[in-house]
Amino acid sequence: MNVSIPGALTLKRNTEYCQWQEIQSQRCETCTRTVKAKDGSTKEESYQCNCIKEYNYIKSWRNHRINSMLFDQPGAHHNPPRDPYPSSVMPAKDAKLTFQEGEGNIIDEEIQQHKKKKGSSIDTKLDANMLSSGIRQQSYRRVEFTPNGQMPPPSMFSRFFSYFGSTRPTRYEPLQLLKDTPDSPAAIHDNFVYVGQGGYFFSAYESQTASKLFNYFAQYLEGSLFDWQIGDLMPSCTAGDVRFYYEVQDPTTVSVLGQLSSQSVANELKITPRTLNGIGDTTSSTIGLVHAGRHSPQDMLLAEDSDSKNKANFVRALLFLWSIPASRLCGLAFGRELGESSFTIQTEGVIGLFFTLLSAMWLIVWGETFGAKETAILFFCGGTFGYIALKSAVRSGGGSAVRRVYCRILKWANAPPEWRVEDSYVSTESSSGRKML
């Protein structure tokens, strides 16, 4: 759009699409049936029967495109695959930072020599790769263009909701910054125009005649040509319309951690990511950090370490949730039904599998040179919990372990009984020969 935001280190384009969305609803009854194994043993199971599936459609703005080819009525609710300008984050390529002596900056010999030539302040260029991960502790602000960059008077609704919490900050820029947008590629090729109302640039979808005729023919085949819903009659956007708005990260003070280099052009100083040489067989890597505010290098590294721990904990939480169904399948492979055991036994099985998988991941990532003691302890705890859970769990039916696991997965997928015939529902290890449900 040929838009330039002064003082912005990072510019984000958030694209939204007018899309149809299919909402499926199903009403079922709970029935029981008798399933038979290969050896003639049977058991009762409950299942969903007499299901009635309904489809409803709503049209609204989404931050992602929706494939309408899988809809029940794709012709009447077609989403054109239009995506001229997807969401993107664009770091500034010409950002400059000014350092003043006596403000806690680390002044090395190269900067001192440069300062004698240029004066007390030191100007440096910031490499765009330093901003590839954004600016930590700096939230994005939406950009709106108003006359003279003045904030418009708040509406009644905004004043009402401001009592319940802080509103998202917005940066207001003068409309004069949009003087070159009519000559921009987005305006020429896709007819994007600024419409305001939240800083949106909007482009209407224009359907071709052949596309319209094909869409009518598809509606005729699926029987939805005259099937109107309330959502079709309500005024709204047209499927295929695209709009986007900009957000910026524009802190006035930043702390950077990288390396300093001199450019041959005008003897300028430039801050680029620092290269860290690997030790032994470890490959080299780079580090380039930009944090909002004034921070020491130690604080910046500690903050990045904290973010890394939070990401690791999030992955561990996902692994724990995945361990719940996986532990039941592992129990079936060993001839046990964790799902029919007590809650304590189920918890032991989940914890045992989680600890075992987590210790295996640590061993793969770190090897034996780092954290070997912690890895061994966690693996021992995982094996202990898993062994106790397997010994205490209810025994499952006999037959092949692979078939038991295979049939359980199909049962979770609601497959018909003919697809998942097990070898037996009678436990071979049960002395009384009773049927295990």
User: Looking at per-residue confidence, does 42 or 163 come out higher?
Assistant: 42
**Sign, CA torsion 226/64/60/1:** negative
pLDDT of residue 345: 94
Statement to judge: residues 239 and 366 lie in one domain: no
Statement to judge: residues 399 and 328 lie in one domain: yes
Q: Is the pLDDT of residue 104 over 70?
A: no
Statement to judge: residues 83 and 199 lie in one domain: yes
Q: Is the pLDDT of residue 23 over 50?
A: yes
> Which one, of 61, 56, 87, lies nearest residue 72 by Cα?
56
In contact, 257 and 300? CB cutoff 8 Å:
yes
What's phi and psi for 354, nearest 5 deg? -65, -45
Residues 6+ apart with CB under 8 A from 349: 327, 328, 330, 331, 338, 385, 386, 389, 390, 393
Q: Is the pLDDT of residue 42 over 80?
A: yes
Statement to judge: residues 245 and 314 lie in one domain: no
pLDDT, tens digit (0-9, with 9 covering 90-100), for 216-261: 556 656 666 556 666 556 667 889 999 999 999 999 999 999 988 7
**Sign, CA torsion 167/173/179/180:** negative
Q: How far apart are CA 360 and CA 367, in angstroms?
A: 10
Task: Decide if 121 is inside a domain.
Answer: no
Q: Quick one: how far is CA 178 from the chain centroid?
A: 32
Task: Decide if 376 is inside a domain.
Answer: yes
Q: Is the pLDDT of residue 355 over 90?
A: yes
Q: How confident is the model at residue 392 (pLDDT cuts 50, 70, 90)?
A: very high
Q: Residue range 184-191: average pLDDT?
A: 94
Distances (CA, A) of 408 to 133, 266, 413: 43, 71, 9
Instruction: Write out the residue range of the structural domain in which residue 324 sits.
Output: 303-419
User: Looking at per-residue confidence, does 284 or 176 come out higher?
Assistant: 176
pLDDT of residue 265: 57
Statement to judge: residues 83 and 220 lie in one domain: yes
Tokens 């939240």, residue located: 198
Statement to judge: residues 233 and 326 lie in one domain: no
Strands of 266-393 (E only): list them.
269-272, 274-276, 285-287, 289-292, 336-337
Statement to judge: residues 69 and 213 lie in one domain: yes
Statement to judge: residues 332 and 231 lie in one domain: no
Average pLDDT across the chain, whole number: 84
pLDDT of residue 150: 86
In contact, 398 and 423? CB cutoff 8 Å:
yes
Distances (CA, A) of 424 to 35, 45, 394: 11, 15, 16
Statement to judge: residues 328 and 205 lie in one domain: no
Residues 6+ apart with CB under 8 A from 165: none
The pLDDT > 90 percentage for the chain reads 45
Task: Decide if 166 is inside a domain.
Answer: no
pLDDT, tens digit (0-9, with 9 covering 90-100), for 317-343: 999 999 999 999 999 999 899 988 999
User: How many domains is the chain partitioned into structurally?
Assistant: 2
Statement to judge: residues 318 and 381 lie in one domain: yes
Residues 6+ apart with CB under 8 A from 327: 338, 346, 349, 350, 352, 353, 389
Task: Decide if 287 is inside a domain.
Answer: no
Coil/strand/helix, residue 225: coil
Cα angle 63, 67, 73; round to 5: 125
Statement to judge: residues 206 and 319 lie in one domain: no
Task: Decide if 405 is inside a domain.
Answer: yes
Task: Decide if 99 is inside a domain.
Answer: no
Q: How far apart are CA 182 and CA 189, in angstroms?
A: 11
pLDDT of residue 434: 42
Per-state percent for the chain, helix, strand, coil, to nearest 5? 35, 25, 35
The structure tokens listed for 273 are: 């990511």
Q: How far apart are CA 375 and CA 125, in angstroms?
A: 45
Distances (CA, A) of 328 to 182, 298, 334, 349: 61, 46, 10, 8
Statement to judge: residues 307 and 384 lie in one domain: yes
Strands of 238-346 (E only): list them.
242-249, 254-257, 259-262, 269-272, 274-276, 285-287, 289-292, 336-337
Residues 6+ apart with CB under 8 A from 283: none
Task: Decide if 413 is inside a domain.
Answer: yes
pLDDT of residue 291: 95
Q: How confident is the model at residue 145 (pLDDT cuts 50, 70, 90)?
A: very high
Q: How far apart are CA 103 and CA 254, in angstroms?
A: 12
Q: How far apart are CA 355 and CA 379, in angstroms?
A: 6
Task: Decide if 433 is inside a domain.
Answer: no
Which of the given ranges, 26-30, 381-385, 411-415, has the highest pLDDT on average? 381-385
In contact, 181 and 2? CB cutoff 8 Å:
yes
Q: Residue range 143-163: average pLDDT?
A: 76
User: Looking at per-residue confidence, does 152 or 210 come out higher?
Assistant: 152
First to last CA, the chain: 65
The structure tokens listed for 79 are: 């989403």
pLDDT, tens digit (0-9, with 9 covering 90-100), for 265-317: 566 788 999 888 766 556 778 889 999 999 998 999 999 999 999 999 999 99
Burial class (CB in 10 A: 0-12, 13-18, 19+), 148: exposed
Please name the residue ranges forming H helices in 79-208: 109-118, 156-161, 185-190
Note the pTM of the prediction, 2 decimals: 0.76
